[in-house]
């Protein structure tokens, strides 16, 4: 029986996952560490499966057309599916795998670390000690109260914060465990001292934090983004940080990555930036990559994936 041909779009796949994939499939990997879209398109024809590893490159109709009719399964080495034309995949009947829940702890830990560093001004030697705000007793807002948002809420319990607010389409029964209150986005902005962004990127959340949002926030508030860069209008964020509409921001993700060295955000003493490290622990990356391969193998066998996107 013919072994499936699988295209792995980039080299940044954990060795333990590649080993598992090579035991079962003929694997194609671009020669360049950072292949262009054109290079990936050249490798697509005739593959049975795609292991997609880039959240910055769009997996769309052009890619699917290039793969041709043999394509039977697609799997992402990440949780978010904003890089995929999910409607087109569904129309073609091609299952999509992703890695929900696995990165929750690592991303939440980084979020808490960013909160502390940003709030205390630890990377800014000129910080005025009198400008620091106490985390204890503060009101924390979480935009997106899914898996990562709830782990953030769990981690916050040790800080003796005053209250947790969250916004989303619906209230969640699980929020009672954290005494978290479901409110509108507008109320969350107005009342929160610390705001975490942990929602997915979609048409509703793209540039959700715009000039209007920043003007509605407390001037003493800090913003922590561990979701997707495009949820924040970066021009509006720069204006808010420079103009004192908010006190500070901590960013694990930005719109353009790698981050442009000449960005004005780098020049602002009240902005902390780390290079998208949310899932960057060996255990988390290994588990995500293995789950992605397991999803792909199930899809190639016409079986329901362990973590299939619905």
Same domain (yes/no): 253, 122:
yes
Same domain (yes/no): 125, 239:
yes
Beta bridge partners of residue 222, listed in sequence order = 194, 248
Does residue 96 form part of some domain? no
Same domain (yes/no): 195, 265:
yes
Does residue 84 form part of some domain? no
Percent of the chain residues topping a pLDDT of 90: 87
Q: How many domains does the chain have?
A: 2
Same domain (yes/no): 29, 108:
no
Instruction: Answer whether the bond into residue 258 is a cis peptide, omega within 30°.
Output: yes
What integer pLDDT is reported at residue 124 of this predicted model?
67
Angstrom CA distances, 181 to 81, 115, 136, 294, stand at: 28, 20, 18, 37
How deeply is 153 buried, as exposed, middle or buried, from its count of CB atoms within 10 A (0-12, 13-18, 19+)? buried
Does residue 109 form part of some domain? yes
Same domain (yes/no): 158, 44:
no
Does residue 35 form part of some domain? yes
Same domain (yes/no): 132, 45:
no
Split at pLDDT 50, 70, 90, the class of 127 is low
What is the pLDDT averaged over residues 74-86? Answer: 96
Same domain (yes/no): 156, 269:
yes
What integer pLDDT is reported at residue 56 of this predicted model?
87
Same domain (yes/no): 11, 69:
yes
Same domain (yes/no): 123, 237:
yes
What integer pLDDT is reported at residue 126 of this predicted model?
56
pLDDT tens digit string along 35-57?
Answer: 999 999 999 999 999 999 998 89
Same domain (yes/no): 221, 251:
yes
Question: Which CATH number do you get for residue 154?
Answer: 3.40.50.720
290: which 2 tokens? Answer: 């293995």
Does residue 307 form part of some domain? no
Does residue 164 form part of some domain? yes
pLDDT tens digit string along 7-30?
Answer: 999 877 999 999 999 999 999 999
CB 165 within 8 A of CB 142: yes
Same domain (yes/no): 267, 132:
yes
Same domain (yes/no): 146, 210:
yes
**pLDDT over 60 (residue 255):** yes
CB count in 10 Å sphere of residue 82: 18
* Nearest CA-CA partner of 237 in 266, 277, 202: 266
Residues 6+ apart with CB under 8 A from 261: none
Question: Which residues belong to the active site?
Answer: 276
Does residue 119 form part of some domain? yes
What is the pLDDT averaged over residues 247-259? Answer: 92
Does residue 50 form part of some domain? yes
| Full residue range of the structural domain in which residue 231 is found | 103-273
Instruction: List phi, psi (to 5°) of 7.
Output: -100, 120
Query: DSSP for 13-68?
Result: S-HHHHHHHHHHSEEE--SSSS--HHHHHHH-TT-SEEEE--SSS-B-HHHHHHH-
Split at pLDDT 50, 70, 90, the class of 260 is confident
């Amino acid at each position: 029986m013919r072994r499936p041909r699988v295209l792995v779009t980039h080299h940044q796949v954990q060795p333990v996952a590649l080993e598992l994939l090579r035991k079962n499939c003929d694997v194609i990997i671009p020669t360049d560490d950072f292949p262009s879209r054109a290079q990936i398109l050249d490798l697509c024809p005739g593959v049975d499966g795609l292991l997609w590893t880039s959240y910055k490159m769009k997996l769309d109709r052009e890619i699917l057309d290039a793969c041709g009719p043999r394509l039977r399964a697609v799997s992402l080495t990440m949780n978010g599916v904003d890089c995929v034309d999910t409607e087109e995949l569904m129309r073609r009947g091609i299952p999509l795998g992703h890695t929900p829940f696995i990165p929750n702890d690592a991303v939440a830990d980084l979020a808490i670390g960013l909160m502390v560093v940003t709030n205390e001004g630890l990377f800014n030697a000129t910080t005025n000690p009198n400008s620091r705000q106490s985390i204890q007793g503060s009101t924390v807002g979480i935009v997106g109260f899914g898996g990562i948002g709830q782990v953030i809420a769990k981690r916050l319990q040790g800080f003796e914060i005053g209250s947790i607010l969250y916004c989303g389409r619906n209230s969640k029964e699980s929020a009672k465990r954290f005494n978290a209150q479901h409110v509108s986005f507008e109320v969350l902005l107005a009342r929160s001292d610390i705001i975490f962004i942990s929602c997915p990127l979609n048409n509703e959340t793209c540039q959700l934090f715009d000039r209007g949002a920043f003007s509605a926030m407390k001037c003493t508030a800090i913003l922590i983004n561990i979701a997707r860069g495009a949820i924040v209008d970066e021009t509006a964020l720069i204006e808010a940080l420079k103009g004192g509409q908010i006190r500070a921001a901590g960013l694990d993700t930005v719109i353009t990555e790698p981050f442009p060295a000449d960005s004005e955000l780098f020049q602002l003493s009240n902005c902390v930036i780390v290079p998208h490290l949310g899932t960057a622990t060996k255990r988390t990356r290994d588990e995500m990559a293995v789950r992605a391969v397991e999803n792909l193998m199930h899809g190639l066998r016409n079986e329901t994936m362990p973590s299939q996107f619905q």
